[in-house]
Structure 1
Amino acid sequence: MERAVEQPIKRLSTHDHNWQQSCQSVRERNTMMYNNELMADCHFLVGRPPRVERIPAHKYVLATGSSVFFAMFYGSLADHDENAKDVEIPEVEPVAFLNLLKYLYCDVVEPEPDSVLATLYVAKKYMVPHLARQCVQFLETSLTCKNACVLLSQSRLFEEPELMNRCWEVIDAQAEEALASEGFTEMDYDSLEMVLGRETLNVKEISLFQAAVRWAEVECSRREIANTSGNKRKVLGKALQLIRIPSMKLDEFADSAAQSGILTLQETNDVFLYFTAQNKPDVPFVQNPRRGLQPQRCRRFLSSAYRSNQWRYRGRCDSIQFSVDKRIFVAGFGLYGSSNGAAEYKATIELKRNGVQLGQTKTKFYADGSSSTFAVYFENPIQVDPEAFNTASVILDGMELSYFGQEGIAELMVGNVNFQFQCSSDSTNGTGVQGGQIPELIFYC
């Protein structure tokens, strides 16, 4: 978000007779009046005890920036008594109200992570749409798997469909991490139902069940009731049936869900029979696995080749830099394997931005000796934000002779995402834009 550089605001008194001479613009003069008792003709008592602040303001400035303030001070219901009482707004946080005034007086938008939701609330309350848009943009740029669930609830509350869509993109792609976040337990019940019923979540069903149990435990605390299995079942209500328990693995069900106390004895027995019996009983849960997101592949070479002794690994690093114009979630890389028959490889894949590691996975994959690519995945998809360049790297240990890519493309579109590639100084094995390893980026968007 673009932020104005704010100079320290001078506090004035009636003894400062010539302060206007140093302020050349209307904005500068209004800025001098921000949160200032000088000529203040209204006051607000903001917040709840013991953190109530009395904040001075000027009716004219407020009314020219907000139709709500105009109605309050100059509409048919306005109180024209000069000795009118302070306006009490206990449901608004003082820092958020000051952010609103700073925008109205100074044309400055400065939401911070800790206050942006409260600022969005007050911008909506007093119908200041530009400030609200700036708050939403700030939330979109700061959106991660850690806060996506709680922002989903807030975007529904504030009726912000674009922000809601951005939240779903993160929750779908990084569901395992989003469901494990503290923000998941802070969701309202309707949002919980939406998540549990989501077809496109990339998540293990056992992870969804465990997350729902954690939500229920916190909900019991919010309602000030005992944290018993029966109460957890009660607060989950119909949302429990949205968890696709029959699509769990048998050992996952036996070791977790079956012993949680959340399910009835009849449900537990029926699910065990569903897993093991030839004649499967009816169960009150959706049986089909979730579809999840379908990964896309950015293929950066037009062809692959093999020439004797031309491409070897020997534990060296193959790297390429790339940027995108939209937020994506990198799930893994497609890699070339042995050109000399079937072979197993140890692979270390890594993603970095500005030298900071975003994710790393050490694993194995089997190459069948063909020129096909072989997918190697990170433990969880990694969020990649637009514009800045990121470094994709791999170190392979296995059969040295390999296929390699050629006729590389420096810029290409995959769906609605634009990819740009450039050589990386981390590459010590010859991979670059025109040829080499890491032929594919596997991603969600």
Structure 2
Amino acid sequence: MESNWQDDLSLLESMDYMLTNEVDCDISFKLGKAGSDVVPAHKFVLASRSSVFRAMLYGPLAEKSCTVDIPDVESGIFKCFLRYVYTDNCAITSDNVTALMYTAHKYNVRRLVKECGQFMMDNMSTANVCTIMENANLFDNRELRQKCLEFIQNQCTEIVESKLLTSLGPDCLGEVLRSEELDAKEEDIFAAVVSWADCRCTEKCLEVNGSNRRQVLGDLLYLVRFPLTSQKTFASISEANENLLSLEEQVVVFRGYATGNFSNSPFSSKMRSAQVQTKEYTCFRFQGNDIKDSGTMWSNNSKDAIMFKVSEPVYIVGLILFGCKEGSTTYNVHVEITELGQKVHTTVASTSTEKTFQVNFTEPVAVNRDTNYTLTVFLNRGPCTYYGENGISNVDSGSIKFTFSSSYLSTNSTGVSRDRYMESHFQNVDTLQV
């Protein structure tokens, strides 16, 4: 070794030289379970970079021996870790980042923990995000854990359909399932949860069946939103997964399908917000030339009612009603959609130039497929309105079919062919949060 090796070296270069050439080392570490590889270092440097090393080497319970056993860190990882401690730089790779983060976390070298976390963020993929999330949870790295959750939300369909959630532990799986931002079909989410349960059963040497799946899942199963699946899909799930759901749980969900009310179900019926889209569809019952603007107009203070059903579940978000042209008019409109007992009350204004006016519901009204509902409209004030003739009884709007029929509740001559109700605005059940 040259006596003047310090010449022309920066501080970090000198530190690196002393570590690499083991110059004046005063502590050694036996690495790995075998302890066959011994790595020397300098107490002062270690204590200057790590509170854990300072307590270990200079605290009241300081190591007396000049050799310290570290069985849970392998030699190559520890050498890389030391390189960072001495120089603020080391080669972080996808092969060593997890073990390096573990070592940095163990010895409280926060700068290296942060750099490892940034490396994971920069190299995150669908294949490794769940493993990274578990590591973030293990090291209590909340920022990294949140980034993983956001990545899973953004790549939800691929991750869920590929059953990649099996790499998660129960805490992280629960966080994912609670997310409002999962943009995937609920039946696919359920299938991923079943795959997760199968892996846990295998790990615990349990037979893979419904009872054991429920045992390893516990309350995690309640985070699956079964009411967001169709009744037919839920029936298939119940049949194919015997003993996963209790009889009482199945009955409550089926009752919810029948009544449209899942308030007593332990499984949420709230649509995940990532599935919410704002695109609206319109069901037109009358064409422009079917609007009557002369002769007898439609009177108020009587109840207009018509029955309808839909081919697929939808949410009714508003109506278009016929108005008048007799100056600026405010109609007090009372609207009910019954069968589920849901009611909407609103007051709207119709100006003198409008033949129609829109009634937007405060909350969308959910209607199920192949179920008869009665739409009732009552205008208790305001002048007579226009009305429509030659109304269409079967209306196809996109993939949804509306079927209309007369209702005995009408007291205003309302029927399929003549009505003051012109059109409805609705959104598909798969695109709206309730």
Q: TM-score category by the smaller chain?
A: 0.5 to 0.7
Q: 1:70 aligns with which of 41, 51, 54?
A: 54
- Is 2:198 the partner of 1:217? yes
User: How far did residue 278 of structure 1 move?
Assistant: 7.8
Paired with 1:286 and 1:64, the residues of 2 have a C-alpha distance of 53
Paired with 2:77 and 2:12, the residues of 1 have a C-alpha distance of 21
- For 2:292, the equivalent position in structure 1 comes to none
Paired with 1:103 and 1:199, the residues of 2 have a C-alpha distance of 40
- For 1:46, the equivalent position in structure 2 comes to 31
Deviant stretches of 4+, over 6 Å: 277-281
Equivalence map 1:365-444=2 (5 Å): none
Instruction: Give the alignment's Cα RMSD to 1 decimal.
Output: 3.1
User: How far did residue 100 of structure 1 move?
Assistant: 1.4
Instruction: Answer yes or no: is the 8 Å Cα contact 1:244–1:285 preserved in 2.
Output: yes
Instruction: Answer yes or no: is the 8 Å Cα contact 1:67–1:126 preserved in 2.
Output: yes
User: How far did residue 18 of structure 1 move?
Assistant: 4.3
- For 1:20, the equivalent position in structure 2 comes to 5
- For 1:57, the equivalent position in structure 2 comes to 41
Paired with 2:236 and 2:130, the residues of 1 have a C-alpha distance of 27
Paired with 2:135 and 2:239, the residues of 1 have a C-alpha distance of 33
Paired with 2:188 and 2:166, the residues of 1 have a C-alpha distance of 14
Corresponding letter in the other structure for 1:206: E
User: How far did residue 195 of structure 1 move?
Assistant: 1.4
Corresponding letter in the other structure for 1:258: E
Between stretches 96-105 and 141-150, larger displacement belongs to 141-150
Paired with 1:290 and 1:62, the residues of 2 have a C-alpha distance of 49
Corresponding letter in the other structure for 1:177: E
Equivalence map 1:297-316=2 (5 Å): none
- For 1:238, the equivalent position in structure 2 comes to 219
Corresponding letter in the other structure for 2:240: Q
In structure 1, stretches of 5+ residues that fail to align are 1-15, 298-445
Between stretches 160-169 and 121-130, larger displacement belongs to 160-169
Equivalence map 1:286-365=2 (5 Å): 286-292=268-274
In structure 2, the CA distance between the partners of 1:181 and 1:34, relative to structure 1 (3 Å rule), is farther
- For 2:102, the equivalent position in structure 1 comes to 121
Look up the SS of the partner of 2:202 in the other structure. helix
Paired with 1:87 and 1:65, the residues of 2 have a C-alpha distance of 18
Look up the SS of the partner of 1:77 in the other structure. coil
In structure 2, the CA distance between the partners of 1:144 and 1:296, relative to structure 1 (3 Å rule), is farther
TM-score (norm 2): 0.57
Instruction: Answer yes or no: is the 8 Å Cα contact 1:155–1:164 preserved in 2.
Output: yes
User: How far did residue 273 of structure 1 move?
Assistant: 5.2
- For 1:88, the equivalent position in structure 2 comes to 69
User: How far did residue 67 of structure 1 move?
Assistant: 2.1
- For 2:156, the equivalent position in structure 1 comes to 175
Q: 2:88 aligns with which of 107, 115, 118?
A: 107
Deviations 1:302-356 (Å, cap 9, x if unpaired)? xxxxxxxxxxxxxxxxxxxxxxxxxxxxxxxxxxxxxxxxxxxxxxxxxxxxxxx
- Is 2:175 the partner of 1:194? yes
Look up the SS of the partner of 2:69 in the other structure. strand
In structure 2, stretches of 5+ residues that fail to align are 280-434
Instruction: Answer yes or no: is the 8 Å Cα contact 1:150–1:183 preserved in 2.
Output: no
Corresponding letter in the other structure for 2:43: K
Q: 1:142 aligns with which of 123, 142, 147?
A: 123
Look up the SS of the partner of 1:168 in the other structure. helix
User: How far did residue 48 of structure 1 move?
Assistant: 3.0
Corresponding letter in the other structure for 1:42: I
Percent identity of the aligned residues? 34
Q: 2:246 aligns with which of 234, 243, 264?
A: 264
In structure 2, the CA distance between the partners of 1:21 and 1:119, relative to structure 1 (3 Å rule), is closer
- For 1:130, the equivalent position in structure 2 comes to 111
Instruction: Answer yes or no: is the 8 Å Cα contact 2:197–2:213 preserved in 1.
Output: yes
In structure 2, the CA distance between the partners of 1:128 and 1:276, relative to structure 1 (3 Å rule), is same
User: How far did residue 259 of structure 1 move?
Assistant: 0.2
- Is 2:15 the partner of 1:33? no
Look up the SS of the partner of 2:30 in the other structure. strand
Corresponding letter in the other structure for 1:30: M
